[in-house]
Amino acid sequence: MWTRLDIDALGDMAGIDIQSGTWTVPVLHVTPADGGTTQTVAGNVRALTAIPSGFLFERTDYGPCMVCRTYLESWPAAHSYSSSVFIGDGYPWHGNRSYAVRRGGGIYASYWASPFMGDTWTFDFEERDEALQIVNQTDGISTHVVAVDRLDVAIESLDAGVRWIDPKGDPISGTFSATADSAFPLIGGGLLTTDDRIIASGRADVQPAPEWLRGRAANAFVVLGERAYAFTDADCKASIYSATGEFCGTFTFSGCGAPPRFGLDGTAIVSVNGGGWRLWRRLLQ
């Protein structure tokens, strides 16, 4: 049973297939854009994210393991040790890592490990590229990044609110109140929050969203070479707006089982009632 399809900016398609056997295992398959053979990439996969030239995904060890470790990996570099980032295994002294995906395909990540046998707490903040290689690492700080905008500026969450930070984890704005979790990165920078507010990029400036953006954060996609948005809904429609809010038209996809999605190359991805998927390749390129 296919549970997720996504497409990168090059037209490569990745999907998660739930396979039953000794264990029920979600398996990641990738079909290259050049029409090459579909590759079985990894098992026990979740959190699939398309990036400009590939995909990021989480993979958890499975089988007869007492403690199963979870990793973040990238395709096409999957199975390379250097492209695998440890996320956690439930033991706090082994460490844990949270992350947020950057528009260019990399991540901002925070790592922390609790003391064990007399050790001290370990913290660091990491900027990693599309292949998950470290670009910058700042030791001794613990940040919780909850969003990254399209200008590659990150927001961290604190007990007192949220604030913008730079790639080394240093604050570039004061702390302010906003719901940045699951916010949508807007064309030109800034975020659209799930409670219909706009956060200006790099500034403690929060304003009500205009009417045409309200209720859109959960099913919004940037299309047409970052000149427009596609907003989708459960009625199988995609409403297209320019970056400045001009209404451009509507596409309707019959028989969808969930709101349509758009891949990074503009392909429409539609889960249909009764099972299966339909694709409209590069519909909004």
Q: Please, where are the H alpha helices in the chain?
A: none
The set of long-range contacts for 36-41, using a CB threshold of 8 Å and a minimum separation of 24, is: 41/14, 41/75, 41/78, 41/79
**Which amino acid would we find at residue 175?**
T
Query: 249 and 175 share a domain?
Result: no
What's the structural domain count of the chain? Answer: 2
Does 34 have pLDDT greater than 90? no
**Which amino acid would we find at residue 230?**
A
Residue 216 is inside which H or E element, if any? none
Query: 210 and 222 share a domain?
Result: no
Does 79 have pLDDT greater than 60? no
pLDDT of residue 80: 56
Q: Tokens in use for 112?
A: 């922390």
Asked if 87 contacts 75 with a C-beta cutoff of 8 angstroms, the reply is no
Query: 173 and 271 share a domain?
Result: no
Query: 138 and 254 share a domain?
Result: no
Q: What is the mean pLDDT of the chain?
A: 92
Does 90 have pLDDT greater than 90? no
Three-state SS for 50? strand
Does 11 have pLDDT greater than 80? yes
Query: 283 and 160 share a domain?
Result: no
Query: 75 and 169 share a domain?
Result: yes
Query: 176 and 270 share a domain?
Result: no
Domain that includes residue 230, residue range: 217-285
User: What is the pTM (predicted TM-score) of this model?
Assistant: 0.90
pLDDT tier, 23 (very low <50, low <70, confident <90, very high otherwise) = low
Does 35 have pLDDT greater than 80? no
Note the pLDDT tens digit of each residue in 53-74: 999 999 998 766 778 899 999 9
Query: 121 and 256 share a domain?
Result: no
Q: In what order do the strands lie in the sheet with 45-51?
A: 45-51, 54-60, 70-75, 84-88
CA gap 139, 184 in Å, rounded = 29
Domain finish residue from 165, 184, 216: 216
pLDDT of residue 78: 58
Query: 53 and 167 share a domain?
Result: yes
Query: 208 and 233 share a domain?
Result: no
Question: CA triplet 4, 285, 201: central angle to 5 degrees?
Answer: 80
Closest to 49 (Cα-Cα) out of 28, 24, 32? 28
Q: On the CB side of 100, how many CA atoms lie within 13 Å of its CA?
A: 26
Domain finish residue from 216, 251, 275: 216
